[in-house]
Structure 1
């Protein structure tokens, strides 16, 4: 079948099961947007307020569905506006395909209007990228892009298409695509794991104080059930990373909370005391391990990860197993006998009871709002966040049960991420309630996406915890810079409620604890985007905390100060 290049793009998207794209049109991508119009009954196109919002929406869609998210932009500044979102997806291993159009082939390399080498710019922050200069390369490149984005350790792929390819004609034949490329391993593949799995079993069986650390790979590999069974079999407590939230039920008796800089004392002290740490699907970020030389210093470490480059990168592992977490845990569960570590589990329970999460109950605070959200809406709610204090409170005080329930920017820490991501999550999960939690500093970054929410009447709830400062930066300035609050005070004349109303949303301001529940229930019953601004104190802190470069043993909280 002979098709125009732009129509070929649409057919390739349909092959991949794409139902929604997020983007912003412009000169070089006009042919593709014209085709989107023709295919509008099969693929919905969401016009965001800014290309960065489109990239974050694709990210949120992917994280909340497990499918590949798609964003589009024109050449030059349109393409460069995607860069932050692409880097965000790369750091968090999110399958996103970004499609950009560039100037026509004869104009490449001549500093033409809105020409940019977007493939060169994004090379360090993508799994792979393509420059399509010939119509016969178009369909194969798009198919490869989706395959690369979703297989192995997921990540973003960019496809840049010259304008002459979008207007040209070529032969197209539809292909049936396998949308689940991580196939079960063959017997030969399984054999290569035998020695490593047997070593793991021996380390586990001789351990008296095992501890499990679950990262985002648990969610990416859909290994939550295998993790739960594994924890029962080896009779161990479980901590998670920020990106691992929801991979293990936050209400499970074995759960000790998050590990790291703002992890619980039970998790941090537990890892410091254990004799075996089984780490699954984690890159051992500096925010998790603190001082690498003292991290889990009493323990043998088993590190399971699909990316071989992560083994021994930040933390030395006594046993590294490169493979899919679901497969590896499934095999271990078949090989292991039930272990019992009652004394160790009792010690962990004592730590949980001795060092509970706590905050000032006398005034309106971020943790109170988070707990109220959980109380009002339960666990069918998808929680998105921006980055900062509110993000840590959302990680600490909401008990996540489902692996696709918590959507945040972990590795890159992108302020302005959450609102776009919440729009993507809502399109991916139209029957789920979606709430984005922001601080006032982050909300300023991309609050223009409220216009997107109102344009399509997307019923998301935007909660802004407003302390009129850059809260997390101010916290560091308090502890490490002798209270020199350089450029972190945001006490100006901006009225977020009026801004929200001006962008077509409904908004209320909350100043007291007893107003929170009423506002949340009103927002839930409103058929459209709703903003709740909660006024909290400027010097509220996130506790516990580990100072940069310190050991997890040095975790401190308000009582220690």
Structure 2
């Protein structure tokens, strides 16, 4: 099977046979030559005893730049951020034992969000595997649930074929991480380098072309529908299907709502984009989904953070589910028309079939209703909960959004309240311009991922929006950014607490703040200066714009510590276990631009439904 057959353009293999073809070399040298043959020019990692031979071979490479992380987890997140921002396969190299086990969180993060990675781990010599030798861990067994595939090399004869397969598997079908475990004695053995152009994996043949009959069935459902909605996830980004999605939405006048991973898949400025849905999505987007009679799920997986109480989720809607991974279809929600295939081709075929059958657009009254809800239930309204002497998180995010060139910037987030504020208020126009840990929700992901994104997109401004809790998970990577002169900008929403858990404790646990209050340590400005960064703190609303301008205009890495109140909560919110139309804290301009309570709280307090 050809390695690029039916692949999306974003994952076409950039490498080719090199001048090293047919050269005698060691296994370690063949590892590096294989990476070069795949077109890899940047890897992230951390050396150690069982990986030292690979690193020695890397020393001689004229094509590959190595970025030395300060922790193996940071290295994998950096490779992940690079992959998400560029669409290419990210690569990390680490040693055995604790070096390998430190990668697990990063690998799991990439797996949950379908990110193409190849992680190379050193391993103890083959003769002592399984004897609990020094710095040995069964990393293949440990990572089995969170990789797309894994290899433990046994001979040099399989080395180049393994690397060829690994990059192919990581980047095709539903992308994901692949692990290659390289015993150190194998890295010393002599071999003849022969890198294959083709991959033959009879058991792995992703379906790219959607079934024609099912596409026609989907078109019939669209024709019958009066209130359709396009529910869009990260699969649109992976497939590069934004043009086809836009054409389908415009042709049929269908509202588009997005998951966290789908942000940027459809332009924020488009009048049919109704933004994020789910636990911290807008009330109007959740109402669109709830009242729809047809859900066209495109590269989305009906996550629990989207559906809420599943039995009450979009109760009157039929479902068309399009995904390249057949395991996702019907896993959570019953599907009327399943279509397995690549979104770019499937959506394009649907548009063509709709035109062929002259299917009219959805009734204008549906979009008019959606617009009415959008006006009535905005994400933010001046004066609601504002305190003139405090910085308001929503204003920080919307101000930052207005200062960034949407075509020349990438926003990366950590995980927590700040992540949700960023998703709600930072507008993105293009795919791969908003990077976040959606599936695993990994605190400590965003900052190292922003380093990888900045190295992958040196012509773009990269801003990491972080919380004071999550940023401290991988602060050691400040050294990586400083030494590599990566001009990443870190904006910390500093509330001296673990904000999202603190919010849950406030709303659902009678304000019993168990282990969520953080003392004001460290001094982030001094910490940044210790790493050679520029930094500043801002605590007054009137100083915010100047502080943001200073951050964005600075050369090199910069940290801005934005002081906000612990009492600031992310609204609107759907409580755990509640239906998506039972929203806490949504703003309703029809009753004076006040925040409304959820159904249960309103019943208890005698409020309106």
Which TM-score tier does this pair reach, normalised by the shorter chain? Answer: over 0.9
Q: Is 1:122–2:140 an aligned residue pair?
A: no
1:355 maps to 377
Q: 1: CA distance between counterparts of 2:475 and 2:385? A: 29
Q: Is 1:326–2:344 an aligned residue pair?
A: yes
1:388-467 to 2 correspondences below 5 Å: 388-467=416-495
Q: 1: CA distance between counterparts of 2:434 and 2:178? A: 23
Q: Is 1:199–2:227 an aligned residue pair?
A: no
1:225 maps to 243
The 3-state SS of whatever aligns with 1:343 is: helix
**1:158-192 deviations in whole A, cap 9, x for unaligned?**
000000111111111244479xxxxx999xx85x7
Contact 2:160–2:195, Cα closer than 8 Å, also in 1: no
Q: 2: CA distance between counterparts of 1:397 and 1:555? A: 18
Q: Is 1:373–2:394 an aligned residue pair?
A: no
1:78-477 to 2 correspondences below 5 Å: 78-176=99-197, 193-336=211-354, 337=358, 338-358=360-380, 360-361=385-386, 362=388, 363-379=390-406, 380-477=408-505
1:483 maps to 511
The 3-state SS of whatever aligns with 1:383 is: strand
Contact 2:110–2:177, Cα closer than 8 Å, also in 1: yes
Q: 1: CA distance between counterparts of 2:476 and 2:198? A: 37
Q: 2: CA distance between counterparts of 1:360 and 1:522? A: 28
Q: How large is the Cα RMSD of the aligned pairs?
A: 1.5
Contact 1:257–1:266, Cα closer than 8 Å, also in 2: no
The 3-state SS of whatever aligns with 1:464 is: strand
Match of 1:60 among 81, 86, 90: 81
Uncovered stretches (5+) of structure 2, i.e. residues with no partner: 1-22, 200-204, 587-594, 598-609
1:560 maps to 596
Using the TM superposition, name which of 352-361 and 42-51 deviates more.
Answer: 352-361
Task: Tell me by how many angstroms 1:29 deviates.
Answer: 0.4
1:513 maps to 541
Q: 2: CA distance between counterparts of 1:412 and 1:134? A: 35
The 3-state SS of whatever aligns with 1:447 is: coil
The 3-state SS of whatever aligns with 1:256 is: strand
Uncovered stretches (5+) of structure 1, i.e. residues with no partner: 179-183
Contact 1:26–1:74, Cα closer than 8 Å, also in 2: yes
**1:59-105 deviations in whole A, cap 9, x for unaligned?**
10000111000011100000000000000000000000000010111
The 3-state SS of whatever aligns with 1:98 is: strand
The 3-state SS of whatever aligns with 1:29 is: helix
Task: Tell me by how many angstroms 1:56 deviates.
Answer: 0.3
Contact 1:210–1:234, Cα closer than 8 Å, also in 2: no
Change (3 A) 1:493 1:56: closer
Match of 1:37 among 59, 66, 69: 59
Contact 1:500–1:506, Cα closer than 8 Å, also in 2: yes
The 3-state SS of whatever aligns with 1:110 is: coil
Q: 2: CA distance between counterparts of 1:437 and 1:122? A: 29
1:525-540 to 2 correspondences below 5 Å: 525-540=553-568
Contact 1:376–1:517, Cα closer than 8 Å, also in 2: no
Contact 1:457–1:527, Cα closer than 8 Å, also in 2: no
**1:186-224 deviations in whole A, cap 9, x for unaligned?**
9xx85x712101110110001111111100000010000
Task: Tell me by how many angstroms 1:550 deviates.
Answer: 0.8
Q: Is 1:51–2:72 an aligned residue pair?
A: yes
Task: Tell me by how many angstroms 1:133 deviates.
Answer: 2.0
Match of 2:49 among 24, 27, 45: 27
Change (3 A) 1:163 1:241: same
**1:488-541 deviations in whole A, cap 9, x for unaligned?**
000244211111111121110011122222222222232211000000010101
Contact 1:15–1:177, Cα closer than 8 Å, also in 2: no
Contact 2:108–2:440, Cα closer than 8 Å, also in 1: yes
Task: Tell me by how many angstroms 1:10 deviates.
Answer: 1.0
Q: 1: CA distance between counterparts of 2:565 and 2:346? A: 46
Contact 1:453–1:529, Cα closer than 8 Å, also in 2: yes
Q: 2: CA distance between counterparts of 1:530 and 1:390? A: 18
Q: 1: CA distance between counterparts of 2:180 and 2:158? A: 11
Contact 2:164–2:195, Cα closer than 8 Å, also in 1: no
Q: 1: CA distance between counterparts of 2:316 and 2:485? A: 54
Contact 1:262–1:543, Cα closer than 8 Å, also in 2: yes
Contact 1:386–1:437, Cα closer than 8 Å, also in 2: yes
Using the TM superposition, name which of 486-495 and 255-264 deviates more.
Answer: 486-495
Q: Is 1:76–2:97 an aligned residue pair?
A: yes
Q: State the number of aligned residues.
A: 552
